[in-house]
Each structure stands twice: as structure tokens, then as C-alpha cells.
């Protein structure tokens, strides 16, 4: 796979330059680019040692009960290398395969702080729970790794001039046609690095499907390793296969995916898949002001981790060639889902998930796709069809909130307009093209400065 720059690599460089550095654990699903990013980082070091704990001989190093300095010597001996002068990067890949390796991170922090230690695991948190491992809290830091964002997709596709154009705020109108087309492609194939790289080479969707299937099969096999019995293994397989079919919808646990499974066992499995970062359960809030409290008694909306795999499983790929607007098929869920994928990836240092807003009353229920906290406000985001589309739920939110700012993400041009709710409240609406959702913070700042506080 051809290497390309992404935000993760820039963050790894920032971590390496920090004086308060701790061992770094990269968490994310398999094949999202963790290992590739660390290999690129290694070029900046004088010495690089790579351990893959899926290999028994590498994993065995941590099972000998050695003290940390003896362990480091054993690693050099095992790799048949001498310690060089300068900076050493030690990468412990697939660390979920060794509880002892997890425990050793504490001692790398306490006794060998001069070693730049990075670990990665695709099922890290699942392993901690199932094997009841004591984790060195406070002695490591985390970075969460997701599929490529749209801007990283542009970088991988060689669209560096287009990427540079996004730095302009407001975005120039002459760039709209190309950016909408590229975002449409991104929504079609998703952000898995191998998929993006293959598509760049062939631009043939049918060439991608064997890779999509291989990824899905690999995830099922991976997660099944941590099932405590055959029953749980079957539920895990069913839920992971069903998740792309249920993505974008509010789900109930009982009978999930047209099954006979009970709420408790499905809930346990979906939370396991969430810890594996293969899906996210997005919960609603009723709040229109800070603090935003989520309501876990209400049914969550399911966000799958990659929209490209979702399209493959649902057989939606052909629709992308028939329609130019993401809202023109599959009930508009793809537009909302790809926006959700971008929002999930906004903050890689925490695992905060997007939130949506609900008002559930018999005569006047309403649901706003997302809400975000910005500059002391809770700002609603609606993902809407084309250049029009009803804003009834958004109006209900605005009637309840104590400010006058809202956002619509759609397939139209960047503009700000004044809108009045049926009840008479006037507010400012930022109409933002889908492809700018990755720059949401910048545009919210621009929006509020433009209309005044």
C-alpha cells in the first residue's frame, strides 16, 4: 500500500516531540492504518524495533516475567540488533494478544521514559474486559484511529491542490462541482486505507468488493475470538453482519436484525462491538443548552464505523451512479451516515461520540440529526436533502433554545440566511455543503463572527 500523510501521523510527531510523553496506545479497528502510520513515523528515529504479538515468538518475550530493563535487552537479542545512540522507537503491535505486554507499559513509563513506546490493538478494550487485565491507568495515553476522513481521502487520492483549497474560508464557489463529486466518491467507497488505495489505482468499484468482503470476514473472525461460549459467538456474528443493515436507524436490542435474541444479550454484544470500534451507539439528548446530558433510556441510533462497507453490504453501490444527491436513495440515510462518520473522527484524543436531539411527545415528536457544543452554545445540525427540505424538527429545537444559530448540511452552496419558525422566532441558519463538515469548527467560528453574537 502506498503511504500517504494523514492527521494521525501529524499527531504521532507531536506526541514524540512532547516533553510529557507517555507510552501511546493506538486504538481502532483492524486495517484502519495504525501500523502504516507508525512505520511512517519511524523514519524520524535513529532506531526502530517492531514487535507483532500475533507472532508467538514476539509475544513470548513478555511472558517470561522479566524486569523491564531485562525485557528490553531480551528484545534486542531476539531481534539480533545492538542498541544505537539516538532516539529509539519501540512499536508493540497487536498488543491485545498479551496481557503481560499491556502491564509492561507501566514500567516503560516509569523506568524507561527515554524509549519512545507505541502500542496498537484492534480489540484492546475487549481484551482488557474479557481477560480482566489490570490496566496502567495514568501511565499511558490513547489516540483513537478511525477510517480516513474526507480530507485524508483527498490526500490519499493525490488531490493536494483541492485539499489546499479547503483552507479558504469561506470556500470559493468555483470549487463546488469538483468537491461535491469527490465527496460523493468518498461516501461511496468509505475511508478504509486499502480500499482508497485500490480505488485510486483502478477506479473500478467491482475491484473493491473482494476487499470489502475480506475486511468484514476478518472482523467477524477477530471478535469471535473473545466470545466466552458458542452462543455469544453466534450472537456476535449475527450482530456484526446485521449492523450495516441497521446503520443510520434507531435500534432496539430485543430482536435486533430480525433475530430471536433477547435485549440483554444483544446489548452486551453491541457494546462489545462498540468497544472494538466497529460500530457506535449514538444516544439522544433533550438538552438545548449546556450541559448536554444524554438519555440512555431512549433507543440509540446505530452508526457503523465505515460507510463504504455499509454500502457494500446493503447493495447500494449502484445507486451512487444513478443519483448525484446522497439524499436521493436509501431514505437519505447515507448522507446522514457519512456526516456522522466525519463527526466521529473529529477528536482522536477522546472517544466522545456524536449526539442527536429528540423531543418525544404524542402530538409533536421531533428529531434533529446532531447537536454540537460550541462556544457555550448547543448548536443543532440537520442533514437535509438537496437545496430545500423541511426543517420542522430544527424549528422545534430553535423554539426551545436560548440562542439563534443553526446549521444545515446539504448539497447546496455555502450561505447564511435568516429563518423564522412558525411560532415567530427568528434565527440564523448556516447552510453548509456536506464536504465542509470536517471543517465544522472553523465554519461555526466564521458563522458566529459573521452574524454577530
> Which tens digits make up the pLDDT trace of 309-324?
999 999 999 988 888 7
User: Could you report the per-residue pLDDT of 164-204, keeping only the tens digit for each?
Assistant: 999 999 999 999 999 999 999 999 999 999 999 999 999 99
Identify the weakest region by mean pLDDT among 39-43, 139-143, 322-326: 322-326
Residue 152: exposure state from Cβ atoms within 10 A (0-12, 13-18, ≥19): buried
**Residue 20 pLDDT > 70:** yes
User: Could you report the per-residue pLDDT of 374-401, keeping only the tens digit for each?
Assistant: 999 999 999 986 554 579 999 999 999 9
**Residue 228 pLDDT > 90:** no
414: left (phi over 0), alpha (psi -120 to 50) or beta: beta
Structural contact between residues 378 and 289, judged by C-beta atoms closer than 8 angstroms:
yes
Q: Report, as an integer, the average pLDDT of 65-74.
A: 96
What is the per-residue pLDDT for 389? 56
What is the per-residue pLDDT for 26? 94
Structural contact between residues 175 and 291, judged by C-beta atoms closer than 8 angstroms:
no
- Hey, what domains does the chain have and what are their CATH numbers? 7-144 (3.40.50.300), 206-451 (no CATH)
**Residue 225 pLDDT > 70:** yes
What is the per-residue pLDDT for 385? 63
Indicate the pairing of strand 284-285 with strand 355-359: parallel
Share of the chain above pLDDT 70, in %: 95
| Side-chain half-sphere CA neighbours of 280 within 13 A | 25
Number of Cβ within 10 Å of residue 115's Cβ equals: 16
User: Average pLDDT of the chain?
Assistant: 91
What is the per-residue pLDDT for 138? 83
Q: In what order do the strands lie in the sheet with 284-285?
A: 284-285, 355-359, 366-374, 377-383, 405-410, 426-433, 415-420
From residue 77, alpha-carbon distances to 62, 107, 149 in Å are: 14, 20, 40
**Residue 127 pLDDT > 80:** no
**Residue 133 pLDDT > 80:** no
- Give the pLDDT band of residue 61 (cuts 50, 70, 90): very high
- Nearest Cα to 247, choosing from 185, 324, 183, 340? 340
What is the per-residue pLDDT for 184? 93
Predicted structure pTM score:
0.92
d(CA 55, CA 47): 21
DSSP 149: P
What is the per-residue pLDDT for 131? 64
What is the per-residue pLDDT for 363? 67
What is the per-residue pLDDT for 438? 96
The CA dihedral of 63, 68, 70, 73, to the nearest 10 degrees, is: 100
Q: Report, as an integer, the average pLDDT of 267-272.
A: 94
Identify the weakest region by mean pLDDT among 121-130, 287-296, 362-371, 443-452: 121-130
What is the per-residue pLDDT for 446? 97
What is the per-residue pLDDT for 357? 97
**Residue 7 pLDDT > 90:** no
The torsion angles phi and psi of 135, rounded to 5 degrees, stand at -100, 140
**Residue 364 pLDDT > 90:** no
Amino acid at each position: 500500500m502506498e503511504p500517504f500523510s494523514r492527521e494521525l501521523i501529524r499527531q504521532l510527531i507531536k506526541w514524540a516531540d512532547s516533553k510529557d510523553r507517555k507510552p501511546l496506545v493506538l486504538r481502532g479497528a483492524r486495517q484502519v492504518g495504525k501500523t502504516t502510520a507508525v512505520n511512517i513515523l519511524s523514519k524520524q528515529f535513529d532506531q526502530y524495533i517492531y514487535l507483532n504479538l500475533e507472532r508467538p515468538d514476539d509475544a513470548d518475550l513478555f511472558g517470561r516475567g522479566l524486569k523491564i530493563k531485562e525485557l528490553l535487552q531480551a528484545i534486542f537479542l531476539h531481534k539480533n540488533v545492538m542498541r544505537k545512540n539516538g532516539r529509539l522507537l519501540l512499536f508493540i503491535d497487536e498488543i491485545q494478544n498479551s496481557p503481560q505486554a499491556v502491564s509492561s507499559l507501566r514500567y516503560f513509563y516509569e523506568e524507561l521514559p527515554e524509549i519512545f513506546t507505541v502500542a496498537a490493538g484492534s480489540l484492546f478494550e475487549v481484551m482488557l474486559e474479557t481477560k480482566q487485565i489490570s490496566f496502567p491507568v495514568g501511565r499511558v495515553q490513547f489516540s483513537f484511529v478511525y477510517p480516513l476522513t474526507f480530507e485524508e481521502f483527498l490526500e490519499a487520492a493525490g488531490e493536494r491542490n483541492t485539499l489546499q483549497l479547503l483552507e479558504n474560508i469561506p470556500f470559493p464557489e468555483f470549487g463546488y462541482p469538483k468537491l461535491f463529486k469527490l465527496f460523493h466518491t468518498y461516501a461511496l467507497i468509505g475511508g478504509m486505507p486499502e480500499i482508497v488505495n485500490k480505488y485510486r489505482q483502478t477506479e473500478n468499484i467491482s475491484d473493491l468488493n473482494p476487499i470489502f468482503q475480506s475486511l468484514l470476514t476478518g472482523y467477524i473472525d477477530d471478535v469471535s475470538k473473545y466470545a466466552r461460549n458458542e452462543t455469544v459467538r453466534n450472537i456476535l456474528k449475527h450482530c456484526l453482519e446485521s449492523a450495516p443493515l441497521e446503520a443510520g436507524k434507531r435500534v432496539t436490542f430485543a430482536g435486533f436484525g430480525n433475530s430471536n435474541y433477547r435485549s440483554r444479550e444483544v446489548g452486551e454484544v453491541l457494546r462489545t462491538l462498540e468497544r472494538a470500534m466497529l460500530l457506535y451507539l449514538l444516544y439522544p439528548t433533550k438538552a438545548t443548552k449546556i450541559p448536554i446530558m444524554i438519555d440512555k433510556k431512549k433507543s440509540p441510533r446505530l452508526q457503523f464505523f465505515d460507510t463504504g462497507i455499509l454500502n457494500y453490504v446493503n447493495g447500494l453501490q449502484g445507486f451512487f451512479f444513478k443519483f448525484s444527491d446522497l439524499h436521493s436513495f436509501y431514505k437519505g440515510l447515507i448522507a446522514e451516515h457519512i456526516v456522522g462518520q466525519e463527526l466521529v473522527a473529529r477528536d482522536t484524543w477522546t472517544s466522545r461520540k456524536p449526539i442527536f436531539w429528540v423531543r418525544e411527545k404524542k402530538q409533536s415528536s421531533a428529531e434533529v440529526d446532531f447537536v454540537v457544543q460550541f462556544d457555550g452554545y448547543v448548536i443543532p445540525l440537520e442533514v437535509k436533502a438537496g437545496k430545500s427540505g423541511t426543517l420542522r424538527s430544527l424549528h422545534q429545537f430553535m423554539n426551545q433554545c436560548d440562542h439563534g444559530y443553526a446549521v444545515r448540511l446539504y448539497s447546496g452552496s455555502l450561505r447564511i440566511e435568516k429563518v423564522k419558525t412558525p411560532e415567530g422566532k427568528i434565527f440564523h441558519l448556516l447552510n453548509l455543503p456536506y464536504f465542509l463538515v470536517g471543517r465544522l469548527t472553523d465554519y461555526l467560528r466564521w458563522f458566529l463572527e459573521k452574524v454577530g453574537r
